[in-house]
Amino acid sequence: MNFRFQDRSEAGRLLALKLKHYEGRSDVVVLAVPRGGVPVGFEVAGSLCAPMDVFVVRKLGMPGHEEFALGAIASGGVSFLNEKAIEKLRVSREVIEAVMARERLELDRQERIYRKYDRAIDVKDQTVVLVDDGLATGASMQAAVRAVRQRRPARIVVAVPVAAPDTCIDLAREVDEFVCVQTPDPFFAVGTWYDDFSQIGDEEVRALLEQATRFQQVIPA
C-alpha cells in the first residue's frame, strides 16, 4: 500500500530501516544529492553511524519544462544525456550545451558553498550509499553513479524513499544494490509522495553537513 511521507526526515528514517545491514561498518560512506537528498541522507548516516558528504548533481531540465530531465551533470565533469528524449523532442545541441553551461555554474557554486575549504570524503574501496529524496526519470542519479564509479569504490548502493518503477529497474542494473521504500504506480512526481516537500536552502544543507560530523563511528585499532 502506497503512502505519503510526512517530510524528508521521516522518509530518511524509514529508508534507514532498510539499510540496517550496513550499520556500524567502517567501510560505509553516505553521499547525499543536494539539496533534497541531504535531510534524507542525514537520517540514514545517523542510523548507520557513517560519515556523510554531499555529491553534487544537476539536472538538465528541458527549457520551459524544467521538471523534465534531458540528462544530468555531476561532480568530476561527468554527464548523462537521455538521447532518446533529446531526439524525440528534437532538442538542438546548442540548447543542450547552453543548459549544461548554466548548470555547471550552479554545480561549481554548490561545491564551494557546501564544502568551503573541506575536502570531499575519499570513497576509494568504500561502500558508497548514494541517497536522494526520490527518483522520477533517474537522470540525476545515473550521472551520480557514473561519477562515483570513477572514484573506485568497492560497492555502490542507491537508496531512495520513493521512485518510479521503471527507474528502479533501470538503476538496479547499474549498481550493486538498489534500496527503495516504495515504488508507486502511477508515480506522478517525487513531491506527490510528501506532505511537506518544501525547498531546502543552502544554509540548511551546510548545517546538516556540520551536524553529521558526529555520526562517524570510531573503530578501535
pLDDT higher than 70, residue 217? no
Cβ atoms < 10 Å from Cβ of 56: 24
Task: Name the pTM for this structure.
Answer: 0.87
Q: What is the pLDDT of residue 221?
A: 34
The C-alpha atoms of residue 60 and residue 183 are separated, in whole angstroms, by 24
Task: Give the mean pLDDT of 134-156.
Answer: 92
The distance from CA 115 to its chain's CA centroid, rounded to whole angstroms, is 17
The C-alpha atoms of residue 168 and residue 2 are separated, in whole angstroms, by 16
**pLDDT over 90 percentage in the chain:** 67
- Counting DSSP H helices and E strands in the chain, the numbers are 7, 8
The C-alpha atoms of residue 8 and residue 198 are separated, in whole angstroms, by 9
The C-alpha atoms of residue 60 and residue 21 are separated, in whole angstroms, by 34
Q: What is the pLDDT of residue 118?
A: 67
Residue among 41, 9, 60 nearest 114 (CA): 41
Residue among 210, 215, 220, 219 nearest 47 (CA): 215
Q: What is the pLDDT of residue 168?
A: 95
Task: Give the mean pLDDT of 85-105.
Answer: 91
3-class DSSP state of 140: helix
What is the grid cell recorded at 83? 538521447
Q: What is the pLDDT of residue 72?
A: 87
* Per-residue model confidence as pLDDT tens digits over 171-183: 999 999 999 999 9
What is the grid cell recorded at 89? 523532442
Structural domains of the chain, ranges and CATH numbers in brackets:
8-56+120-214 (3.40.50.2020)
Cβ atoms < 10 Å from Cβ of 91: 18
The C-alpha atoms of residue 126 and residue 213 are separated, in whole angstroms, by 18
